[in-house]
């Protein structure tokens, strides 16, 4: 039996946790993070870079605000991907079907081109260019160090571990 409350809790827990990280997202300097937070828990939502001097230091990308336009309580790109996948699953829920990257791409492209608002990593830019060039889906993406659970909504949509694994593998394509 599916426990809908547990599924909602998992999804919203992931989104709230992501939003709590927005203030220091993409900060990789442990000393800077410790100076900002010490051993204190994060108890409020913060704007990007709020306790980091207004910017975070993405290794190899330089110091800047990686989430311009985002405000305290907003999500990072990881949270945005979770929301995107949940929206897609809701759109294909009747009848329920297997996760298909080809079916997701129009929704992803629309959000990416019109209302994304989060950091756009090199892998996302590369995948976007590949989609525009009509590269076959099985060849989309490339080398990425951006590993995250972006498919939390799938736990409420699919019934088996095999289906969740399938969604997980397919979600690394476009990010």
Sequence-ordered strand ranges (E) for 9-148: 56-58, 62-64
Tokens of 53: 């001097």
pLDDT in tens, 103-122: 999 999 999 899 888 888 88
Cα separation, 12 vs 75, whole angstroms: 12
Cα separation, 96 vs 12, whole angstroms: 22
pLDDT of residue 173: 59
pLDDT in tens, 126-164: 889 999 999 998 888 777 655 455 788 888 888 888 998
Cis peptide before 12 (omega within 30 of 0): no
> In terms of Cα–Cα distance, which of 151, 172, 156 is closest to 14?
151
Lowest mean pLDDT among 46-55, 64-73, 135-144: 135-144
Q: Which residue has the tokens 């309580």?
A: 73
Domain residue ranges in the chain: 4-64, 77-171
Q: Is 62 helix (H, G, I), strand (E, B) or coil?
A: strand
């Amino acid at each position: 039996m599916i426990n809908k409350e547990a599924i909602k809790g998992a999804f919203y827990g992931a989104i709230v946790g992501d939003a709590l990280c927005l203030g220091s997202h993409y900060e990789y300097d442990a000393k800077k993070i410790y100076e900002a937070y010490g051993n204190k828990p994060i108890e409020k939502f913060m704007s990007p870079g709020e306790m980091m001097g207004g910017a975070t230091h993405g290794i190899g990308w330089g110091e800047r605000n990686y989430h311009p336009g985002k405000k305290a309580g907003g999500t990072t790109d990881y949270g945005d991907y979770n929301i995107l996948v949940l929206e897609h699953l809701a759109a294909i829920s009747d009848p329920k079907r297997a996760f298909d990257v080809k079916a997701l791409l129009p929704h992803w492209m629309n959000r990416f081109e019109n209302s994304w608002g989060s950091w756009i990593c090199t892998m996302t830019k590369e995948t976007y260019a590949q989609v525009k060039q009509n590269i076959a889906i099985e060849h989309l993406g490339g080398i990425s160090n951006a590993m995250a659970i972006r498919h939390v909504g799938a736990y409420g949509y699919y019934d088996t571990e095999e289906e969740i694994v399938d969604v997980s593998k397919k979600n690394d394509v476009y990010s």
